[in-house]
Amino acid sequence: MNKIKLTCEELIKRKDALIEGKKTPKTKDLYIESLDAVITIKQPDRDTVSDTQAIDNGGLSDRYLVYECCLTPNLKDSQLQSAYGCAEPDEIVDKIFELGEIGKIAAQCTELAGAGNKVEEIKN
């Protein structure tokens, strides 16, 4: 494995590309079997990840993450929430998706945030 050692000079060279790459969140289309349809999710921002980590209950944190990251359909649409009788805005996630799907969608959101990126020790 022939990897370069990252230096300040290298980071300065890459600055524009790194900053530009973070301006536009990554997106991904996911097929949801129970709906027989495709949704589009986006990469969560730092505030969303922080808010999600602050939620104690794992199921509620996944629900919140899916609610925040689902671009289409727009789960934040008040007419949609009203049509499904949601008491809380993010309750729409439970009304639309199967329980097992919520965790899988949330995992895809965190992968877009870099959770699947390799970070490993290099042994000399």
Query: Each residue of 77-100: pLDDT tens digit?
Result: 999 999 999 999 999 999 999 999
pLDDT (tens digit per residue) in 25-62 = 899 999 999 999 999 999 998 888 777 777 877 678 99
Give the C-alpha separation, 65 to 50, whole Å.
10
H or E element, residue 98? none
Judge if the upstream peptide bond of residue 25 is cis by omega within 30 degrees of 0: no
Cβ-based neighbours of 104, under 8 Å, separated by 6 or more: none
Mean pLDDT of 106-123: 82
Tokens of 97: 């998706």
pLDDT at 53: 76
Mean pLDDT across the chain: 89
Give CA–CA dist 70/93, Å, rounded.
Answer: 10
Residue among 37, 27, 3, 23 at smallest CA distance from 119: 3
DSSP character string of 30-96: EEETTTTEEEEEE---HHHHHHHHH-SSHHHHHHHHHHHHEEETTTT-HHHHHHTT-SSGGGHHHHH
Say whether pLDDT at 72 is over 90.
yes
